[in-house]
Structure 1
Amino acid sequence: MTDDVKTRRGYHAPQRTEQAAATRRAVLDAARELFTTRGYAATTVAQLAERAGVAVDTLYAAVGRKPAILRELVETAISGTDDAVPAGQRDYVRAMLAAPTAAAKIDIYASALAAMGPRTAPIFHALRDAAVRDTACAELHAEITGRRAANMRRFAADLRAAGGVRADLTDDDVADIVWAMNSTDYYRLLVHDRGWTPERFGVHLADAWCRMLLA
């Protein structure tokens, strides 16, 4: 291989990477809009491709089929970035683990949920509706639900280790209470249906959990 060929390949590689990332973002942006307005089942792949401004084959190559696209939307909504981020690597989780008291950990988590709500609630609503008719989406919904439950048990154990958790509550009790109240369904009831701001929702969660869970 000549130096000239190597140079051309080195020059074009970053461009291809940037173009692929831009295409992926366009597909996810289109899916986010259509899945949350028209619904998952009512949105066709052709409509997604048209809204994203790409060919159907390009859409498949960039992200995948509809269930894969919905999974990417869920993961990026949770992380708040262009990619999925494992729970232990998220900034707010690291801050919670470093916080010295159970009350501080609760406050950090409640604030994080308030910030996440506007982007996660519409996507999780779309996922729940999609799970009714689509087997792959039902499996994704069950996976995410189970993952949330496991994360809450780790959160409960961390609260217990910090001290101050009510002695009459087991870690499973704590985890189940937090798991129910951190759901996007609860968020939608108060923010979408009752007109609360996300910030008020976060303050409410912190106050409620401290009252319910701590001695």
Structure 2
Amino acid sequence: MSDDVKDTRTYRSKVRQEQARRTRQVILDSARRLFAERGYAATTIAAIAADAEVAQDTVYAAAGRKPEIFRLLLETAISGTDEAVPAEERDYVRRVRAAARAREKIEIYTAAVREIGERMAPLHRMLREAAGQSPDLAAIRDAIAQRRAANMRLFAQDLAATGDVRDGLDVDQIADVVWSTSSAEFYGLLVLERGWTPDAFQQWLADTWCRLFLVPESGM
């Protein structure tokens, strides 16, 4: 096989992959909009397909059944990209791990919590309402909560390893506080329901974690 044929096939494959990515993104955008307007239960695959201007079979092939579509919306909201990204591969996680001092780690992470909260809070509100009627969504909600708990424990261990954490706090305590206060639900309560600005939320969260977890810096 000549190199020209290989190059042509590689090019065509990349074009098809990009087309598939764009199609899935259009479907997810339509689903997000319709879920917000009509609610999860009232939104059908047929409606998503019509809004996205694709066939229903294309919706299933590109994004899956309705629970899977909602899971993809959650995962991409967490990652901030059009693909789900494992926690250890996210840019902010790498920067947290690389930071030497606990205060810097907290500042990096609370900035990420604010950005994720802006994307996740509306979806979480829908998830909370729909999970009671959909066992599939309830399972997705529980799986994400457990995964977050495991990731928060890694973050707590990372803070403790700096030597900046106050005496008397253990990793599990720190992890549980971080898990609850960094949740989309908590963000939604303060920002969406109580009217805090995202900036105010981020600043308050960083200050709260530093006061709760860290040995006060000299002169403070």
TM-score (norm 2): 0.91
* Aligned residue type for 2:43: T
SS in 2 for 1:125: helix
Q: Deviations over 1:36-58 (max 9, x none)?
A: 23211111111111111111011
Q: Deviations over 1:51-77 (max 9, x none)?
A: 111110111111111011111111110
Q: Deviations over 1:129-171 (max 9, x none)?
A: 2211111111110000001111111111110001121211111
Match of 1:136 in 2: 136
Q: Matches of residues 73-152 of structure 1 in structure 2 within 5 Å?
A: 73-152=73-152
Q: Can you give the 5+ residue segments of structure 2 that lack an aligned partner in the other structure?
A: 216-220
Match of 1:204 in 2: 204
Q: Determine the C-alpha separation between the residues in 1 that align with 2:8 and 2:109.
A: 48
Q: Matches of residues 35-74 of structure 1 in structure 2 within 5 Å?
A: 35-74=35-74
SS in 2 for 1:133: coil
Q: Can you give the 5+ residue segments of structure 1 that lack an aligned partner in the other structure?
A: none
Match of 1:24 in 2: 24
* Aligned residue type for 1:101: R
Q: Determine the C-alpha separation between the residues in 2 that align with 1:122 and 1:131.
A: 14
SS in 2 for 1:157: helix
Q: Determine the C-alpha separation between the residues in 1 that align with 2:133 and 2:101.
A: 44
> CA 1:4/1:210 → structure 2, altered by over 3 Å: closer, same or farther?
closer
- Coordinate RMSD, CA, aligned: 1.9
* Aligned residue type for 2:114: A
Q: Does 1:195 align with 2:195?
A: yes
Q: Deviations over 1:170-199 (max 9, x none)?
A: 111111111110111111111111222111
Q: Determine the C-alpha separation between the residues in 2 that align with 1:150 and 1:10.
A: 39
Give the C-alpha shift of residue 5 in structure 1: 8.2
List 4+ stretches of structure 1 deviating above 6 A. 1-8
> CA 1:210/1:7 → structure 2, altered by over 3 Å: closer, same or farther?
closer
> CA 1:4/1:162 → structure 2, altered by over 3 Å: closer, same or farther?
closer
Q: Determine the C-alpha separation between the residues in 2 that align with 1:108 and 1:32.
A: 28
Give the C-alpha shift of residue 15 in structure 1: 3.1
Aligned residues: 215
Q: Determine the C-alpha separation between the residues in 1 that align with 2:175 and 2:3.
A: 60
Contact 2:159–2:165 (CA<8 Å) still a contact in 1? yes
Contact 2:117–2:183 (CA<8 Å) still a contact in 1? no
Q: Determine the C-alpha separation between the residues in 1 that align with 2:37 and 2:117.
A: 17
* Aligned residue type for 1:191: V
